[in-house]
Chains A and B, each alone.
Chain A
Amino acid sequence: MYISARPGVREIEVRPSSDTAPVIRGKVGPVVVLLGLTSLLTDVSSEMVVAVLPLFATVALGLSPTAYGAIEGLYQGTTAVVRLAGGFAGDRTGRPKTVAAVGYGLSAVCKLALVPVSGGAALAAVLAADRTGKGLRTAPRDAMIAASCDAALLGRAFGVHRAMDTAGALLGPLVAFAVLAAIPGAYSTIFGLSFAIALVGLAVLVFLTPGEGRPARVALEPVSASGVAALVVDPRLRRLLVATGLLSVLTVGDGFLYLALLHRSAIAATYFPLLLVGTACAYMVLSVPLGRVADRLGRPRVFVAGHLALGLAYLAAAGPPGGAIGLCACLLLLGAYYAATDGVLAAAAASLTPPQLRGSGIALAQTAVALGRLVAAVAFGLAWSRFGRDQALVGFAVLLLVVAPLAALLFRVPSQRSAAGR
């Protein structure tokens, strides 16, 4: 009762009904921190490889940029299906930790497999396996985070995890280029080190992170494919999926946004790689605060607000040629979008899904995002060719700013009804 008395929080109904526990102050549990540590180490490992991969492919392997681009494109689509499979496997076996460990292990082994790579085909195979590992582990790991903490603290827990994850992504390139600066051309050293770091991350998960033990599990129904299908029929999760898909269809890929900035500003051309760093910094810093805000004000609200920030980022990128301020504003808004949506969506999906189906529920929500973005990429390409780059960006921004409030309504209706039905 005292929540509604808190200034700034209007009504308890704006939250999903399963999410009405009073706000608890305290620290996130050890599971979240340990999973965060695993993700941090794995991201250091992956990103140090990703950072040198274009150089390795073009300079050391002698692949043309065109061939490298083709390889990159090849493995982008593979994660969505694997992600669903990973989520379902974690639920079905009741062992999300084991499934996640297989995913982390596969990606770790891939780093070592890069050492003998000497051609495009081998590189493509290793990268595809690496992506498969990433797809496999994401949903069961998120289910573990969700299972480890109070429903009222989910947003913050995911915020902590994503902040640690992003910190790893920022550290990776620094480690890689420190190695390259000390030992020129030492790609094999980078891959070997990357494997060693991934191994420690895997060991944190396997040996230190409490997993599996779900006491309530025996009392629950066994998980089947039809159970997952029933999830989609559940009106609350379905509305979340529809709203998520709808917003994601208006999400232009970061690559397009960076290219727009590149055309706009001389600063962007000189420091092109720093655009990614700027976005990741904003994401890391904002992840925990926005997760907390989501726990207080309702995750759908923050999720929708994140898309409003994205719309503003498009306007900033399409606006009059700005100097450093316009550029920074755009990156800050883009980072805020990630902080307000990625972990928050996982938290929202987890809170709308029965505990034994959490992995599948989270995977479904993340797949809705992936499919939406796929459509968005095609639609944006068409809009760009038809109306021009800036016009297309402004168009997508306006659509986002209009659709986001509608999506908010979609989120709200069921939670009000279910609250009223009590």
Chain B
Amino acid sequence: MSRRGVAFVLACVVAVVIGGAAIGLGRRNAAEAARPTAATAADLALDVATVRAGGYIAFRSTALGPTYGRLAVVPLAAPGGPRAVTSLECDRAYVTRAAGLCLSAARGAVTTYRATLLDAALSPRRGLPLAGIPSRARLSAAGTLAATTTFVGGHSYAQAGFSTATTVHSVAAGKDYGNLEDFAVIRAGKRYRSADLNIWGVTFGTGARFYATVGTKGRTYLAEGDLGARRLTTLRENAECPSLSPDGTRVAYKTRPDPAQPVWRLAVLDLATGVQTDLAETRNVDDQVEWLDDHRILYGLPAEGAATDVWVVPADGSGRPEILIPNAWSPSVVR
């Protein structure tokens, strides 16, 4: 064999060794991750129905181990204690007393994404197709309206950059309001059109009213929407992923101190007075927040590795943030 031939064979041997090592290490890590820990064993001992009987918080569990990524619940009274884990895997979830919504990826040769509607007992009822990577999920308080935001694109052949698709679905009527990008956007009293219009992060008010983010030309707006009139009216610039307080008087959202940087701070807007209050959390929060009650706000922050924690901070700018549920993500409060 020629010297080049020998060199080629050697290179292939090196490649096989590296590939084999990658597979071996991957299997060992996966086996380790799947071994139940003391904490996950305790979690599995707790019954979901028992927790659901009272007020509770539903969330995505990010505790390492066999229950990673599954929908879990904790009693409102003891959020830091043991959790009850369902068998559902959700990348993003939202739960109300009447229904639930679980967004997940069906990994395969071609990964597809789906939204699963859950009944009051958190059992899957039916599926809705999703066009992209799950980003935000929201239900109206009565569980009759479902909103999903997905991130479309992110493939070498589809280079449209950042694009979201947000759709609203009526659970009861089985009616689809379609993609919110098809709604009329009113800015400064005039109909606004742009190809780069993106709508994301819906939060439902009462009736046909909702709030969402309108993004265009590198700017974001808090907008008030009307499902009946198929219209979105911008209220305020530099406000993303709104969340309406339980009493409906305030909206919490993330805002960029420097609009050019993707770094966000949390703030609360009083809808009646238009006064914005910055919250005591000073770290970068990229989440659609949830109200624990009328005075406190929940949000997720990354922790070590693939883990995340759910934090709580007062909604009036006072106090300081604390961890409410360790190893958790995407919380929703069921009162």
Contact = CB atoms under 8 A, between A and B. Distances in A.
Given A55-B105, A69-B162, A189 B22 contact: yes
Nearest to A178: B109
A76 interface: yes
Of A50, A183, A206, A381, most buried by chain B (CB within 10 Å of CB) is A183
B111 interface: yes
Interface residues of B, number: 61
Q: Using C-beta atoms within 8 Å of the partner chain, give the interface range for chain A.
A: 35 or more
A22 interface: no
B7 A207 contact: yes
Contacts, number: 200
Contacts of A233: none
B131 A269 contact: yes
A185 to B, nearest CB: 7
Contacts of A173: 109-110
B112 A263 contact: no
A204 B8 contact: yes
Given A55-B111, A177-B107, A272-B131, A259 B162 contact: no
Contacts of B273: none
B196 A381 contact: yes
21 contacts: A47-B156, A53-B154, A55-B111, A65-B135, A65-B151, A68-B154, A72-B153, A76-B159, A169-B156, A177-B107, A177-B108, A185-B306, A186-B30, A193-B23, A199-B14, A255-B160, A259-B163, A263-B179, A269-B131, A270-B129, A276-B155
Contact of B29 (A59, A174, A186, A381): A186
Given A207-B8, A255-B161, A272-B112, 18 more contacts: A47-B156, A64-B286, A65-B133, A69-B161, A69-B163, A70-B162, A179-B23, A191-B22, A193-B22, A195-B18, A200-B11, A202-B11, A253-B159, A253-B160, A254-B160, A271-B110, A273-B111, A276-B157
Contacts of A230: none
Interface in B7-32: 7-8, 11-12, 14-16, 18-19, 21-23, 25-27, 29-30
A342 B262 CA distance: 36
B147 to A, nearest CB: 16
Interface in A41-68: 46-47, 50-51, 53-55, 58-60, 62, 64-68
A123 B196 CA distance: 25
B193 A385 contact: yes
Interface string A353-391: 000000000000000000000000000111111101100
A190 B207 CA distance: 48
Contacts of A271: 110, 112
A184 B111 CA distance: 14
A277 interface: yes
A118 to B, nearest CB: 8
